Each structure stands twice: as structure tokens, then as C-alpha cells.
């Protein structure tokens, strides 16, 4: 991993990832995207890690997307795999991911945000998918995730106009959980991550698995998937410990099993 461009540290059970190119608004190089995929995969395997928080260095940008200067140098139209690192990023992570959106989330940066589960956004931040204004098309999951997360008409407006949306607009659309002053973004996001990390690891995985699996199914099939996953969770040691701790009026000690 390139430790200069991406900082990764552990704060108890929370993995904190910082995109660290503030001089170019934390724009992503190809190497950074590969590093992020590797970090996410390692987080998913690490039994001691229960939440991941991603943010950007500085107070101007969360992530400005792909570094177009680097893209132009290597040939912007070169062929990409249909399921490359941009698509894989966060797509197969079964644990919670929280975004601390400290500044602008543009293009690929907006797509990084769309791959997370919870989002805390600075009141000064903006979000945009401006690819259409550049003659480009997003390819980091925006077409797949955005219409699942906000109403169709609003998703199409964001994709087709390329305009910037304020933090308040993003909140009204349901793209972010809350909008806070810039100095509170990281603390609020860490608070969410710490609260989530207190819960049973198996339950967290099963909840995310159930939501993903049921999203585009019929009610009948979705309820079957939910029941199946809930049954698997019920058989875990964590479930037994959680119920026992509740009845014994003590804090549970979850083992992730």
C-alpha cells in the first residue's frame, strides 16, 4: 500500500482510512484505487475490525474522483475490465463502512461515497457526478447504486445534468445521514462507527447481507432470504451471548462467532 497517498490506522475496532492527496483534492490514481480495494479486503478478513471509516485529508475535498491528468497521460479511452477495481471497491465488503465527507465528493469520489453504508457530511461539502459535462460516463457504480438509493427522477437528474448538489440537498434526497459543521464531521462519523462496533460482528454482517440480497427481490423471495439469514444468525454464539447479557443486565462480550 502507498502509505503516503492513503493513510490507514486502527482506532480500537475501527479502521480509519484517509485519502491523502489534499494538493489535488484527494483525486484518485490507479494505484490508490488498487490500494483501497486491498485495504477493504483486509478489513473484511480482520476479525478484530468491526467498522471502517473513510475520509479525505484537509477540509476542501473528500475526493475529487479520478485524477484526469493521470488518465489523459495513459489514454483516457483505454479498455477496462467489466468488473475492475473501481467496481469491486466496497462492493463485496460484508462489514459496515462509514464515510466522513469533509469536503467535495465529485465524480469517482461521489461513487466512493455511494459504496458506503452511512455518511456524515460537512455543511460546506458538495456532491456531483459531472462526467456527462466532460463527454464521459461514470463507471464506478453510479448507474447501479444511485437509483437504488434515491428516487429515479432525482438520480437521473444528477447523472444527466452533472450539476453540484449542496450538503443540504444531499440530505433531503437521503444520500447522507446528517449534515454537520466541518469541525464535527470526523467526530460524528467516529461516534457512529464506535456505536456500530459495539454490536455483534456476525449480526452486522448478516444485516448487511440480508439488505443486499433482498433489495431487488419480490416480497415473497425477500422475506425468505431475510428469514434464512436471521436463522443463521440465531445459531451463533454471539446471539446466545447477546440474549444472555440482556437477561442478566450486563454488557455483552461478542466474539464474532
- Name the residue among 110, 118, 111, 70 with its Cα closest to residue 91: 111
- Name the residue among 95, 108, 14, 97 with its Cα closest to residue 61: 108
- Considering the candidates 86, 131, 184, 209, report the single residue annotated as catalytic: 131
111 is catalytic: yes
Which H or E run contains 97?
A: strand 97-101
- Considering the candidates 111, 209, 232, 248, report the single residue annotated as catalytic: 111
3-state secondary structure of 239: helix
Query: What HEC string does 47-76 produce?
Result: CCCCEEEEEECCCCEEECCECHHHHHHHCC
131 is catalytic: yes
Measured between alpha carbons, how far is 108 from 140 in angstroms, rounded to an integer?
6
φ/ψ bin of 110: left (φ > 0), alpha (ψ from -120 to 50), beta (otherwise): alpha
Q: How many CB atoms lie within 10 A of CB 159?
A: 18
Measured between alpha carbons, how far is 67 from 5 in angstroms, rounded to an integer?
13
- The alpha helices in the chain, defined as continuous H runs, are 30-45, 68-74, 85-88, 108-114, 142-149, 152-161, 167-173, 185-197, 201-214, 219-234, 237-247
Measured between alpha carbons, how far is 95 from 72 in angstroms, rounded to an integer?
35
Which residues, at least 6 apart from 131, have a Cβ–Cβ distance to it below 8 Å?
A: 107, 137, 138, 162
Q: Mind telling me the catalytic residues?
A: 111, 131
Amino acid at each position: 500500500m502507498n502509505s503516503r497517498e492513503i493513510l490507514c490506522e486502527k482506532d480500537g475496532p475501527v479502521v480509519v482510512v484517509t485519502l491523502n492527496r489534499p494538493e489535488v483534492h484527494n483525486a484518485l490514481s490507479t494505484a490508490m484505487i488498487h490500494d483501497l480495494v486491498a485495504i477493504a479486503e483486509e478489513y473484511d478478513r480482520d476479525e478484530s475490525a468491526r467498522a471502517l471509516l473513510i475520509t479525505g485529508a484537509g477540509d476542501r475535498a473528500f475526493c475529487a474522483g479520478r485524477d484526469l491528468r493521470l488518465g489523459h497521460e495513459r489514454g483516457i479511452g483505454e479498455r477496462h475490465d467489466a468488473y475492475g477495481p473501481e467496481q469491486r471497491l466496497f462492493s463485496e465488503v460484508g462489514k459496515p463502512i462509514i464515510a466522513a465527507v469533509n469536503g467535495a465528493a465529485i465524480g469517482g469520489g461521489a461513487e466512493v461515497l455511494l459504496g458506503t453504508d452511512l455518511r456524515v457530511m460537512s455543511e460546506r461539502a458538495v456532491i456531483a457526478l459531472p462526467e456527462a459535462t466532460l463527454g464521459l460516463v461514470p463507471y464506478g457504480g453510479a448507474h447501479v447504486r444511485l437509483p437504488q438509493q434515491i428516487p429515479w427522477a432525482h438520480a437521473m437528474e444528477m447523472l444527466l445534468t452533472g450539476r453540484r448538489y449542496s450538503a443540504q440537498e444531499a440530505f433531503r434526497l437521503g444520500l447522507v445521514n446528517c449534515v454537520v459543521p466541518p469541525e464535527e464531521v470526523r467526530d460524528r462519523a467516529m461516534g457512529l462507527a464506535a456505536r456500530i462496533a459495539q454490536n455483534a460482528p456476525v449480526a452486522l454482517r448478516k444485516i448487511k447481507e440480508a439488505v443486499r440480497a433482498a433489495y431487488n427481490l419480490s416480497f415473497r423471495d425477500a422475506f425468505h432470504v431475510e428469514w434464512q439469514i436471521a436463522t443463521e444468525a440465531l445459531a451463533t454464539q454471539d446471539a446466545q451471548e447477546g440474549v444472555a447479557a440482556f437477561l442478566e443486565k450486563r454488557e455483552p462480550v461478542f466474539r464474532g462467532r
